[in-house]
Structure 1
């Protein structure tokens, strides 16, 4: 009997060793990792670097976002790929340029652009890896089967305080989480066609205010007018409304951070603040000029030792998905994305090899066909206006804005530092030296002195289009007969 007992103990022990060994060799999910970070991606709507204290605006009040910058990393050369809400958000959540995924423009109403259903989104990848994912506020991507989240939280997207309060239970959950927190502010608000025409848009502000929000009111005389805009009464009135909307974002952000602290998870949560595109004024939103695509990006990672620094790396929203997967310790194939992770240079002030980005805009509204492709490398920026024989199309809300109408109705020659003619009728190519001409006023594309630079930049743009399966690559030959022929790139 003793020998049998020893035999069975040996067999059982061997089974346990084999079983334990098999289990230990199984790849662990994020829920098995003690130090797996939570991640909050906070995305505002039409917020440029012009309206943040931490980016140099001395008038606007954004204390909570400024605190995030003082405790984290502020990027000074961060870019979206398309200055259009839906197109930009598809890139943020996929790591792929919109021209390669079918996300050419707006998804809603009759526009109906939609991402191909084989795309693996950030939220889906994180959910598959064991994260609990949730979204709240503006969505503006399609289809939902691609951009799927485990939970959808409900709140008024114009009231970020209410949004923050609606996120409390999610923040207090047991699993590592990814929260996609998207405001409607400071997007222009209804009505887009004001009556009278010179009434400023409200940018979502209401006379009665919002519950839980202490509205910050600005005097139009005090606002800072960017050089690309005309310094008029109408412009100043609209910027004052825009500032008020931004300050509402800041209050909600502060409330969200307070809830995160109360959850006990603030020291294990990476917080990212970005915008989808630049301010909703002509010359910024829907353009690929700097005010439209150069945006705020502030990241606080509690594990990083460098705090309150600026990072000069040129990064793009196409880099966000691989970067966030890196932050989350989720394995991925880098070939799945057009962007690349910048997590390893996050707290480096002047990282080498991060001086080039691309942009790709095709539509805003479906009636606004005006594809543009951009490369920025070092000091130089090249814009290819593929449909340059057409007048530059206006988004409906920007056309009706009192800022534009004050110029249009009074037959003014200039809109900011550009002529109205130059703004509406653009050349095929625009080449700028951003270090000497940050306002993009002096087009060097036709200068013999810059011919070598011009040709080199065009070559880079073509290679970019080839590498990202851009259907508009075909247009370099300028042969309209090839359109719709099914030519393979």
Structure 2
């Protein structure tokens, strides 16, 4: 059963944001819409005036838009394991990619969100990108098949689940806007397709963008190659948006709009160097829009720091499923959904170990208010590239021309990093001025290190052993 404090918080939540005289149904339908490599940079409702995302924008107008939402690992498989378990990947064995020779896998003792919801009477269904293992841990009642780039067709394939008699949990995961195959372009300076194709997709109106008009984030170089790739990225996102619109059409048709919660997130940031696979803000700070039509929240903005490790307990709370708070590393943000600011939601943690198995570069992060500490545990190594990011014309245009800078950051600083990076994001939002070696910040730095150590201990992080030069103990096989 839930602790008394959780029950009290839920009662406070109900009294604060549900309309007078309305009792929320015990088991609403829930759609968790997870895109692949969609950064905070490319949604109209988050301030991009160029990109066309009318359905995402309407979702925000009808619900709550979080401004400080974070994944815990800017890598697809590792991030998705956290989304579906409420636990950090370093504690579940989900260190990196599951497919092919990477072969990382969650411990079989873990109980995931779809299993918990199925036990509570939900029809659980998934479609599109899965990228977690083993299936026995991440088990869904129904697996739907469709081209994961064809977002409208994906939505149409979900109609029977939406029309069903049981409350449903739909895990809807397009491949967009992940980079498309082949990753290596020919010629080298051709933009990646981001899944776009000349013939388009069924039911989708192709929306093209002028490279001259896209917005180039400060961490990327303002080059012809980068702009061309951003235009393709935007086009892919507009396809996602139409799939979201089709899902909402089907909910209306089934008469279930008023009892279906929609949560829109991405697994990690944009697939460009400086974002995906890094723990810089563009890699981990992401869109999060929550629409609960049973509430009076419309067009609300929430500045609380929430994390993908909070999603499983939050969704269980939405579903009215009893759980013990101690079972998860995250906590339900349902009680503060309608609050603009919450003082005790001002800290997040991130943890990255692998992307591909050849990319060993463990990093740990704590952000407390505006202060952010990154621990590059393997700082002596050259920073590794994901295969798709290395081949990208955006990176190659700088690499081949021996450019000094990649965006606002020196190439040398991107490839070879300090052991500790310490930033004041209020003064330095681009994470350019490392305070770690400045004597006047020594006390703050130590406090952040202590907070990081406590986090690693609390979440059973194997890499906590590196503190205090204890790395010689690695591989001893000692069973403590």
Q: Where on the TM-score scale, by shorter chain, does this alignment land: which range?
A: over 0.9
Shift of residue 59, structure 1, vs aligned partner: 0.1
Partner of 1:122: 113
The C-alpha deviation readout for 1:194-213, integer Å capped at 9, x for no partner, is 11110000000001111111
Partner of 2:19: none
Partner of 1:18: none
Residue 240 (str. 1) matches residue 216 (str. 2):
no
The question of whether the paired residues in 1 share the 8 Å contact of 2:26 and 2:319 is answered with no
Aligned ranges 1:15-26 → 2 under 5 Å:
none
Partner of 1:430: 421
The question of whether the paired residues in 1 share the 8 Å contact of 2:76 and 2:268 is answered with yes
Partner of 2:84: 93
SS in 1 for 2:41: helix
Contiguous gaps of at least 5 residues in structure 2: 1-23
Residue 182 (str. 1) matches residue 154 (str. 2):
no
Partner of 2:320: 329
Q: 1:226 pairs with 197, 206, 217, which one?
A: 217
Partner of 1:142: 133
Partner of 2:205: 214
Shift of residue 217, structure 1, vs aligned partner: 0.3
The C-alpha deviation readout for 1:51-73, integer Å capped at 9, x for no partner, is 00000000000000000000000
- In 2, Cα distance between the equivalents of 1:266 and 1:431? 45
Change (3 A) 1:479 1:325: same
Shift of residue 488, structure 1, vs aligned partner: 5.7
Contiguous gaps of at least 5 residues in structure 1: 1-32
The C-alpha deviation readout for 1:232-274, integer Å capped at 9, x for no partner, is 0000000000000000000010011010111101100110000
SS in 2 for 1:180: strand
Residue 131 (str. 1) matches residue 122 (str. 2):
yes
Q: 1:66 pairs with 39, 52, 57, which one?
A: 57
The question of whether the paired residues in 2 share the 8 Å contact of 1:108 and 1:140 is answered with yes
The C-alpha deviation readout for 1:436-489, integer Å capped at 9, x for no partner, is 111000000001111111000000000000000000000112343211123467
The C-alpha deviation readout for 1:173-199, integer Å capped at 9, x for no partner, is 000110000000000001101111100
Residue 453 (str. 1) matches residue 454 (str. 2):
no
Residue 401 (str. 1) matches residue 392 (str. 2):
yes
Shift of residue 298, structure 1, vs aligned partner: 0.1
SS in 2 for 1:99: helix
The question of whether the paired residues in 2 share the 8 Å contact of 1:95 and 1:319 is answered with yes
RMSD: 0.9
Partner of 1:16: none
- In 2, Cα distance between the equivalents of 1:266 and 1:452? 52
Q: 2:265 pairs with 256, 259, 274, which one?
A: 274
- In 2, Cα distance between the equivalents of 1:462 and 1:485? 22
Paired residue total: 457
Aligned ranges 1:42-441 → 2 under 5 Å:
42-441=33-432
4+ aligned runs moved over 6 Å, structure 1 = none
SS in 1 for 2:37: coil
Shift of residue 101, structure 1, vs aligned partner: 0.3
Could you tell me the TM-score, scaled by structure 1's length?
0.93
Change (3 A) 1:329 1:35: closer
The question of whether the paired residues in 2 share the 8 Å contact of 1:134 and 1:149 is answered with yes
The question of whether the paired residues in 2 share the 8 Å contact of 1:46 and 1:276 is answered with yes
The C-alpha deviation readout for 1:299-327, integer Å capped at 9, x for no partner, is 00012212101100000000000000000
Range with bigger deviation, 342-351 or 392-401: 342-351
